[in-house]
Structure 1
């Protein structure tokens, strides 16, 4: 009987992002020859580390409030020989004084930059402040593929509402209003979503199947079933956009 369910060992990225798409993103950002890279809500910093690998003159900083994820990030930096070029810091991103940086990553973390109920617009303004002139922001942000029904919303996260996200077109308009031009617009595919959501649960599902009588089994089962129900409610409705944004000068 294993003591506790394992956590997220099958995920490379903490989001619906495939290896081919990640490679293209890294190449697109590395070709700008950044000297500094800042990752907001970095988690275990996989994309940040790959950019540093591809941009040998760059140094990076990742900030997050999850100490366990940051420990994984530091192990990854050590394993890649990048520990002397990257710092992972446990601190909140709200009103951060870090930056400006040549590349700023914010993947699924816009809520860390704003206290507003709809944080995207304020987060984009903060990202514009944090990026160097001529630099790039890579924003990963949710959007509605189509308006959700009331039944779908009722199965999502607690308090989910139709105004929680914008359409992709409205999201791009917000980026332009914040002082960016979109260099590249792409969205996570259904296959990427399925890979992410399955891998997100897989470790704990296998553990639960082998440990049904464990003291943590009931809690783990409830968590897994709840998340699966949420996924089935937003599957095909919630999208994730990856926007490579260029700051407008002047």
Structure 2
């Protein structure tokens, strides 16, 4: 990119999703009540929540699975900095059909697509069945999954991603129902709030916007500017206040 440095990537985000510090602390406390000895994080990114669970569960080991090498490297670096490198492993591989596990705690935050290639919304049910096979009896699954807070209108769908449709997600009740059908009981149901979404979306773009404020008039910035502007429009004119994210703490039946 000529003499211009590439923009940094996601440095403003602690979590790769709409998750606040307060909710993360509550989730960590709840998920460690069962004293998990093994943790698997599906589509882990840099595995921030997994590392917090390991901090709170002395002796537990964690395995993060993802295909993004940069995120995995960030996770390994964070584990090393916190003295968790001997208990946290990050591996570059697909989670589809994984033979890893079972584990006492399985995290799958915004990554159900990594467990199934079925078309939405059927991929969620398939992912839940896969998660049921990955968790030990008496263990827990934390599923972070999208749902429609309300049915999107035609203009909102047109502003979203290509081929967005009203049938692409369940509503919250439907999401909980398919979790039960997959062999779980929903021991806790919560959803990301507006503040969490705004912090995530702003943080997701922040590095690029800062970079564009300095380099935006350079020819090499055109592609980045177009991508950032498109994503912002997709959020603000499309799924803002329409797409939700549920955090379901699930206990396997039997």
Q: What is the CA deviation profile of residues 104-163 of structure 1, one whole-angstrom value per residue up to 9, with x for unaligned ones?
A: 000000001001002100000000000000000000000000001111011111111111
Q: Say if 1:186 and 1:241, in contact at 8 Å, map to a contact too.
A: yes
Within the candidate set 179, 185, 194, 1:181 is matched to: 185
Within the candidate set 235, 240, 247, 2:252 is matched to: 247
Q: Say if 1:42 and 1:64, in contact at 8 Å, map to a contact too.
A: yes
Correspondence for 1:88: 90
Q: Which runs of 5+ in 2 are unaligned?
A: none
| Matched position secondary structure for 2:86 | helix
Q: Say if 1:34 and 1:57, in contact at 8 Å, map to a contact too.
A: no
Please say if 1:216 is aligned against 2:205: no
Deviation at 1:243, TM superposition (A): 0.2
Deviation at 1:215, TM superposition (A): 3.9
Equivalent residues in 2 for 1:91-240, closer than 5 Å: 91-118=93-120, 119-232=123-236, 233-240=238-245
Q: Give the aligned length.
A: 249
Q: Aligned partners of 2:230 and 2:202: how far apart in 1?
A: 14
Deviation at 1:2, TM superposition (A): 4.3
Please say if 1:39 is aligned against 2:12: no
Correspondence for 1:18: 20
Q: Aligned partners of 1:135 and 1:157: how far apart in 2?
A: 36
Within the candidate set 55, 62, 65, 1:63 is matched to: 65
Deviation at 1:201, TM superposition (A): 0.3
Deviation at 1:213, TM superposition (A): 3.0
Q: Say if 1:105 and 1:139, in contact at 8 Å, map to a contact too.
A: yes
Q: Aligned partners of 1:30 and 1:2: how far apart in 2?
A: 45
Q: Aligned partners of 1:210 and 1:129: how far apart in 2?
A: 49
Q: What is the TM-score with the length of structure 1 in the denominator?
A: 0.98
| Matched position secondary structure for 1:87 | strand
Q: What is the CA deviation profile of residues 222-242 of structure 1, one whole-angstrom value per residue up to 9, with x for unaligned ones?
A: 010000011011000000000
Q: Aligned partners of 1:134 and 1:214: how far apart in 2?
A: 56
